[in-house]
């Protein structure tokens, strides 16, 4: 240990308790936010392998799904800005409503398989349209075990794209 530094070692139950507390805090924050915005929404939370899943349900859930779930994305960005430093690197906040994220994840898996097939058939790189960082990550993870393919994000900011090509 470096002299003068203090490091707290957390046991596995402590880590789980800490992650659950972060998730509970995020739930309370998001509940207050949607209430202040006058949405008729209830927020529930659970800890999953991906991280903190926050589900929105209620009469106004359709507003969260408008414009391909942009409000869900905005809530995730906001939660990450407020609580992101407390999460370990492999976890994230996932805000969902009416199963939108699961449906989108299935679509992204299908898109990844399509891109892989196209690259193998043509030998040319396949570049996806604009995807948010979570969507790019899902495709990266879907194709990471394909030994003959390589994925990388190219470009900057909102113009960042995911490209699949042969190794």
Q: Which domains does the chain have, with CATH numbers?
A: 12-98 (3.30.300.20), 103-166 (3.30.1370.50)
The residues facing 55 across adjacent strands are: 44, 96
Can you tell me the mean pLDDT for 50-69? 94
Lowest model confidence (mean pLDDT) among 8-22, 42-56, 125-139, 147-161: 8-22
> What's the confidence (pLDDT) of residue 14?
54
Mark residue 67 as left, alpha or beta (left: phi above 0; alpha: psi -120 to 50; beta: remaining): left
93, β-bridge pairs:
52
The predicted pLDDT at position 5 comes to: 40
Q: Is the pLDDT of residue 3 over 60?
A: no
3-state helix, strand, coil in the chain (%, to 5): 55, 20, 30
Residue 97: Cβ within 10 Å count: 23
Alpha-carbon distance of 36 to 34, in angstroms, equals 5
């Amino acid at each position: 240990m470096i002299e003068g530094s203090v490091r707290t070692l957390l046991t596995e139950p402590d880590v789980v308790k800490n992650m659950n507390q972060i998730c509970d805090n995020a739930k309370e924050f998001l509940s207050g936010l949607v209430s202040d915005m006058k949405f008729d929404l209830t927020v529930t939370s659970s800890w999953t392998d991906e991280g903190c899943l926050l589900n929105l349900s209620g009469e106004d859930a359709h507003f969260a799904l408008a414009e391909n779930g942009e409000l869900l994305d905005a809530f995730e960005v906001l939660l990450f800005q407020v609580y992101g430093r407390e999460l370990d690197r492999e976890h994230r906040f996932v805000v969902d409503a009416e199963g939108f994220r699961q449906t989108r994840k299935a679509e992204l898996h299908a898109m990844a398989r399509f891109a892989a097939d196209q690259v193998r058939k043509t030998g040319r790189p396949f570049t996806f349209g604009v995807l948010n960082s979570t969507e790019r990550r899902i495709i990266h993870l879907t194709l990471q075990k394909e030994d003959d393919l390589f994925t990388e994000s190219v470009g900057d900011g909102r113009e960042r794209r995911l490209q699949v090509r042969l190794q």
